[in-house]
Amino acid sequence: MAIANVGEPLQSLRMILRTLAALAAVLVLGSASSAQTPATATLPFVLKQVGPGVYAAIDGPEHRAGSNAGFVIGDDGVLVIDSFFNLDAARALVGQIHRLTPKPIRFVVNTHYHVDHTGGDQALRDAGAIIVAHKNVRGWVRVNNINLLGDRITPEMKNRIDALPLPDVVTDKDLIIWLGSRKVVIRTVLGHTGGDLTVFVPDANVLFTGDMLWRRIPPNLIDGSVKEWTATDADFERMPDAAHTIFIPGHGDVANVKDVADFREYLADLRRLVVDGRKAGLNGDALAQAVLLKLKSLHPDWTISDRAGATEVRYMDQEIAGTKKRPIPTRD
């Protein structure tokens, strides 16, 4: 999505324009044929049931939602995971939840601060949810999302980020949230931003990974530590019954443990190739070209754009050189 690779201003702009065009088309379509068009036909995401009362909302091919989200229906209420990039997509998610259950939406857990996962929080709050996040998200969600978008930010977007709701409940420790008798386990994990949570539903064996997992799409490394990130993914692979765990990535389709291993290998390959390139005296564009050529041949089923790939190589290079800037935890 637009925000998925922040080093890609042009591609992102194109995606935003495509999104706007798609939304316009939806509005026209909606007014012309709302009577016979099922509500799900125009959703910006594909809703997939992945367990009893557990749903993944996977960003559609046009990337109108901007990222994946999901929700868990418990005995006495609903817990939502992430809120997409924009309010319309989040409102559509609320509509789908209300269609499936009369139970109240009680929580939204933000897996991290990036606006493509928190942009719709207000729609969830309006629907009754308490916003739960890592403690660093409170300090980062307004300030660092401005940095994240860099020179692509529009005045409208800046206003939207300035007004993003701050989380109500924050933690730097693991948490259990009970939806009646249904247990939901929130864990703090390292690697993507320095303020990441995963959401596990033990009775359905479903793990919402946030951006700790991307399926066949290069991840956004802007705030990341590949070293910590690969360790977290190795932990996912060692989960009890990982072979049957359903993993909902932050971006890309519903995944399994093989996808987790594939993603971890991708990150490890990226790191190794950048180390090798540096040893061979390469830097800048030459380093990016050499790394991407090999990376694409090692992962032919991935969609790796040159622009996104070059940005990744740059961040990886900075991490190896020890010059990588990561978000700094703010005081309470």
Contact residues: Zn ion, CB under 5 A: 114, 211
To Zn ion, the closest distance from the beta carbon of 226 in angstroms equals: 14
Toward Zn ion, which CB reaches closer, 116 or 262?
116
User: What is the CB neighbour count within 10 angstroms for residue 135?
Assistant: 17
Q: Which of 279, 261, 281 is nearest to 269 (CA)?
A: 261
> Which one, 42 or 86, has the nearer CB to Zn ion?
86
- Name the residue with the smallest CB distance to Zn ion: 114
The Cα–Cα gap between 192 and 184 comes to 22
Nearest distance, CB of residue 200 and Zn ion, angstroms? 19
Structure-token pair, residue 307? 């622009």
Element holding 189 (H helix, E strand) = strand 182-189
DSSP string, 153-177: --HHHHHHHHTPPPPSEEESS-EEE
Nearest to Zn ion of 113, 182 (CB atom): 113
Three-class SS state of 61: coil
Closest approach of Cβ 2 to Zn ion, in Å?
A: 12
> Sign of torsion, CA 160 100 197 66?
negative
Is the CB of 220 or the CB of 245 nearer to Zn ion? Answer: 220
Cβ at position 251, least distance to Zn ion in Å? 8
Residue (64 or 114) nearer to Zn ion, CB: 114
37, 193, 228, 326, 327 from 224: Cα distances, Å: 42, 5, 8, 7, 9
Count of beta carbons in the 10 Å neighbourhood of residue 217: 21
Number of Cβ atoms within 10 Å of the Cβ of 173:
9
Phi, then psi, of 316 in degrees rounded to 5: -65, -40
Task: Rank residues 3 and 282 by Cβ distance to Zn ion and give the closer one.
Answer: 3
Which of 300, 118, 139, 303 shows the shortest CA–CA distance to 211? 118
The tokens 């897996």 sit on which residue?
111
Give the residue with the Cβ less far from Zn ion, 78 or 85: 85
Tell me how far CA of residue 290 lies from CA of 89, 220, 221, 294, in angstroms: 39, 20, 19, 7
Distance in Å, CB of 196 to Zn ion, minimum? 8
CB of 177 to Zn ion, least distance (A): 22
Residue 275 C-beta: closest distance to Zn ion, Å:
25
CB of 26 to Zn ion, least distance (A): 25
Residue 214: its H or E element? strand 206-214
Please give the Cα distance from 259 to 262 (Å, whole number).
Answer: 5
Would you say 121 or 211 has its CB closer to Zn ion? 211
